[in-house]
Amino acid sequence: MVYREILPDARLRPLVRAYWQVAEFHTVEEEEHRMMPEGLLRLIFYAGSSWQRSSLLGTLERLPEATLSGLTLAPQRMVSRGLALGVELYPWGARQLFGWKLASEQLDLSLDWPILTRTVCALLELGAWDEARHIVEDWLLKLWTERGREPSWSVKAAGQLYQSLGQSRLGRLAEEYEVSQRQLERLFLQDVGVNAKTLARLIRFEEVHNRLWRTPKASLAQLSYELGFADQAHLSRDFRAMTQMTPGAFAHMVQSTLTLPSRAQDESSRWLSSGFSNGSPSQTQDILLALPTLPPDMDVINGSDSV
């Protein structure tokens, strides 16, 4: 698997954490993933095929070519092959640009922006990552121009939750912004799309997950102390509720993964050396000329690029 992250345009950074691109070349045994809960939303364009299930049991469902999803509270199954370009959005970014809220179903963006979706996916199939990303960024900047707002104090409070790894207390934030806790909770949900307690829980869980991934033998007692859990049992309960496994079982899984032969790295090398990391200039230009460019066709106010 080849994975890369790119920073967005400075104007989008209050709403977008990063772009990422991934090329997955798995055997049948390796193509299924368990997606853990996380504290950001994912806008993803697929050139290939992906299936997902909101629980670890049941039938997988084919994903559209462009989706917006995230901030789930339970693990999900995913089977994927091919290429994907992703945008990691803060929840208030998804709220402003797409009207997202926690209760929303996964959004199929290809319904409202079919031309954009076809253009981006066609470029991804050629390996023209930069061209695809620039089109997505131009689209997001246009959305931001039409729909973006100056950050409210509730959005600033949400930003503090990320900075504190989910440890800022709601009462303290309310005092800082000189509002009642009830008012903060109401406006937080209105502007961010998720309540503060749920967002803090997701941010803190993701930090535990990431630290165990980097250091599987990390002390759970130390993690509990550093991340503001009442005790180790509290951390373990929260982790198990989010992942359906204990922190110890997860750490063991990570250690087992690290000791396996890295076939993914071999596949990454094969992909990079096969000439598909960048589309040929002539093919890329053909795609850009054959499909409508965004500015003339995009009707951002109506949320559509249909003609």
Residue 183's nearest CA partner among 161, 103, 96, 173 is 173
pLDDT in tens, 61-101: 777 899 998 888 888 877 777 899 999 999 999 999 999 98
With cut-offs at 50, 70 and 90, classify the pLDDT of residue 48. confident
| Coil/strand/helix, residue 82 | strand
Q: Percentage of the chain with pLDDT > 90? A: 60
- Give CA–CA dist 3/15, Å, rounded: 22
- Answering whether pTM is above 0.85, one says no
pLDDT for res 54: 59
- Give CA–CA dist 283/87, Å, rounded: 25
- Give CA–CA dist 160/263, Å, rounded: 40
Longest Cα–Cα distance in the chain = 60
DSSP symbol at 304: B
Cβ–Cβ < 8 Å for 148, 185: no
Q: Which domains does the chain have, with CATH numbers?
A: 2-149+277-297 (2.60.120)
Q: Percentage of the chain with pLDDT > 70? A: 77
**What is the residue-averaged pLDDT of the chain?**
82
pLDDT in tens, 1-31: 688 999 999 999 999 999 999 987 655 555 6
pLDDT in tens, 131-154: 999 999 999 999 999 999 999 999
Residue 5's nearest CA partner among 26, 25, 20 is 20
What number of helices (H) and strands (E) belong to the chain? 14, 8
Question: Nearest 5°: phi and psi at 85?
Answer: -115, 125
pLDDT in tens, 160-175: 999 999 999 989 999 9
| Coil/strand/helix, residue 277 | coil
